[in-house]
Homo-oligomer: A and B are copies of this chain.
Amino acid sequence: MSLDVTEIARISDGGSSKPQIQARVDLFKTWDIPSGSKILEIGCGQGDCTLAMAYLVGEQGHITGIDPAPLDYGAPMTLGQAQDKLKQSEIGNRITFHQADLEGFLNSSVSESLYDYAVFARSTWYLPSAEALTPMLVALRGRTKHLRIAEYATDIQGDIAALPHLLAAISQAEFNSRDDNLDRQDNIQSIITPQKIRELAHKAGWVLEKEDVIRSPEDQEDAKWEVGRVLSEKYRVRSRSSGGASRQEYADALISAVEESKRALGPSPKLRTLPTWLGSWA
């Protein structure tokens, strides 16, 4: 597996760090998706997972990555630049990107009529709410043989070094659940729990085949990024830009809790990224 990671890192040409690639490879291998699969990836973002999957499905496989985000979104590289770079890599011919939402894409002429797999690779927390997932799960019925969803789990499984990430997620979800908040730039918009995903998929007619929970690679950087975001002065200022006094005070307490949970781990602590829950349906 480390050979995979080194190879993918070489192909990505500095686009992703090894721990981030490892985290994507871990998802794919847990799902046991065979070579040659045709995959629709929903919420592909800059394509980190797309590239890992493109490598792992081999020459006969193909990944179609869709994301509704504007192509000029993101820094230092924009979404469009990152996607173009992957397209130009030596396995770029196994990848197609579309700027589209799922329903629009499925109704368009560029969509296949049937995919082997539809994959959400840690993209559901970007959705504004769990309710936004419902029509997507319904639309995918009959358009893919298999459904795979990976998302962070709020159960830190006894690993106290993951507590700051959990509390940072709770803080960001609080901020982004405010009705009067129009400043939706966070990576975590909603916390959609495995329980909720199970429930929505069941309602949409999907049959759950398997669930797994995997730990994140020790060096995966998401915990550090999300905790850093919440503890920044900019975030505190944004937090005071919406919500009433009670809500802002509640938000302050969450930020303090993130701070304390980090401090409790000692100076320059190694933060652990939340574990990932993986669901498989057909």
Contacts and interface: CB of A to CB of B under 8 A. Distances in A.
Contacts of A156: 160, 163, 261, 264
A253 B152 CA distance: 12
A192 interface: yes
B129 A246 contact: yes
Given A154-B256, A245-B131, A257-B154, A250 B196 contact: no
A256 B196 contact: yes
B174 A250 contact: yes
A155 B191 CA distance: 22
B154 A260 contact: yes
A130 interface: yes
Nearest to A191: B253
A244 B163 CA distance: 28
A33 interface: no
B155 A253 contact: no
Interface in A143-191: 153-158, 160, 163, 166, 170, 173-174, 177-179, 190-191
A247 B174 CA distance: 8
A256 B191 CA distance: 10
B250 A177 contact: yes
A256 B150 CA distance: 17
A253 B196 contact: yes
Contacts of A130: 249
Nearest to A244: B179
Interface string A86-119: 0000000000000000000000000000000000
A187 B69 CA distance: 43
A166 B192 CA distance: 20
Contacts of A246: 128-129, 177-179
State the 10 A-B residue pairs at the shortest beta-carbon distance, nearest first.
A191-B253, A155-B260, A177-B250, A154-B257, A193-B256, A177-B246, A158-B160, A155-B264, A195-B256, A179-B244
